[in-house]
């Protein structure tokens, strides 16, 4: 469902992504991890068609992002870090807008279900400008879920969420993957994504160091511990 083939992105003299390649199949949760400046957000934004690659090929659900951007955007939902909401719209009006923009039919009942599932019902008529950071995050996630995308990408989605909301989000992401969606999550909170991730992509300094299962990474780097230990061994080459 996601294929990144020799992706490179340059900004003036800065190389944000350098020959990045990996694949994610349908129906799994993948974790895109790496230090600050590793190229995680750049890779996600390129997959969504927000930025153009300097070179390389990116495919989503079999469609080339560069040649068929509309087909890609019809099948993908992207939740950026600190998602920009419409400050003068209520929570419910955000869902109505997304349903209209993406031509989601019979959307009211699923939207109501999402409000209840994500514990947003008490904020249904609240303006975005009145919401906390965590509530804004949940509104953006609800809008993404409403479209039932084939591919779901979330950049640091756990930021601002309390422990109960984190547990809820992890459960709903696993449910989306079990229903056939491909989910790609970027996060620095390694312990919180480890238990829902079936595929791991490690980036550092714009390059892809590893793509595969956690078990494969443990064997490759000679680590018996958790994802955090694998991460430090892969990106720093020292024991932690």
Distance, CA of 37 to CA of 65 (rounded, Å): 23
Burial class, 124, CB count within 10 angstroms (exposed 0-12 / middle 13-18 / buried 19+): middle
Burial code (b: 16+ CB inside 10 Å, e: under 16) for 155-187 equals: bbbbebbeeebbebbbebbbebbeeebbbbbbb
Distance, CA of 233 to CA of 217 (rounded, Å): 10
40 and 64 Cβ atoms separated by less than 8 Å: no
Kindly indicate the confidence band of residue 238, based on its pLDDT and cuts at 50, 70 and 90: very low
238 and 231 Cβ atoms separated by less than 8 Å: no
Distance, CA of 240 to CA of 133 (rounded, Å): 33
Kindly indicate the confidence band of residue 168, based on its pLDDT and cuts at 50, 70 and 90: very high
221 and 215 Cβ atoms separated by less than 8 Å: no
**What pLDDT shows up at residue 158?**
87
Please name the helix (run of DSSP H) or strand (run of DSSP E) that holds residue 133, with its range, or none.
Answer: helix 133-146
Kindly indicate the confidence band of residue 142, based on its pLDDT and cuts at 50, 70 and 90: very high
Average pLDDT over residues 131-141: 95
CATH number of 2-81+150-236: 3.40.50.300
pLDDT > 80? residue 196:
yes
**What pLDDT shows up at residue 237?**
52
Mean pLDDT for the chain overall: 93
Phi-psi region of 214 (alpha: psi -120 to 50; beta: other; left: phi over 0): alpha
Residue labelled with tokens 């989910």: 183
Kindly indicate the confidence band of residue 240, based on its pLDDT and cuts at 50, 70 and 90: very low
Residue labelled with tokens 């890779």: 43
């Amino acid at each position: 469902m996601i294929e990144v083939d020799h992706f490179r992105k340059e900004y003036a003299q800065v190389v944000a992504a350098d020959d990045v390649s990996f694949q994610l199949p349908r129906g799994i949760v993948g974790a895109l991890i790496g230090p600050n400046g590793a190229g995680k957000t750049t890779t996600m934004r390129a997959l969504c068609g927000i930025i153009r690659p300097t070179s390389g090929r990116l495919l989503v659900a079999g469609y080339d992002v560069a040649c068929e951007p509309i087909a890609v955007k019809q099948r993908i939902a992207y939740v950026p870090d600190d998602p920009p909401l419409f400050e003068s719209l209520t929570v419910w009006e955000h869902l109505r807008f997304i349903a209209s923009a993406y031509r989601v039919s019979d959307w009211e009942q699923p939207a109501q279900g999402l409000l209840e599932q994500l514990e947003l019902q008490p904020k249904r008529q609240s303006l975005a400008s009145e919401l906390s950071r965590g509530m804004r995050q949940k509104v953006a996630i609800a809008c993404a879920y409403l479209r039932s995308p084939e591919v779901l990408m979330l950049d640091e989605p756990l930021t601002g969420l309390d422990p109960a909301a984190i547990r809820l989000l992890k459960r709903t992401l696993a449910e989306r993957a079990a229903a056939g969606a491909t989910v790609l999550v970027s996060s620095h909170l390694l312990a919180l994504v480890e238990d829902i991730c079936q595929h791991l992509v490690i980036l550092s300094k714009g390059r892809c160091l590893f793509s595969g299962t956690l078990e494969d990474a443990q064997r490759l780097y000679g680590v018996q511990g958790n994802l955090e230990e694998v991460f430090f061994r892969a990106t720093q080459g020292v024991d932690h």
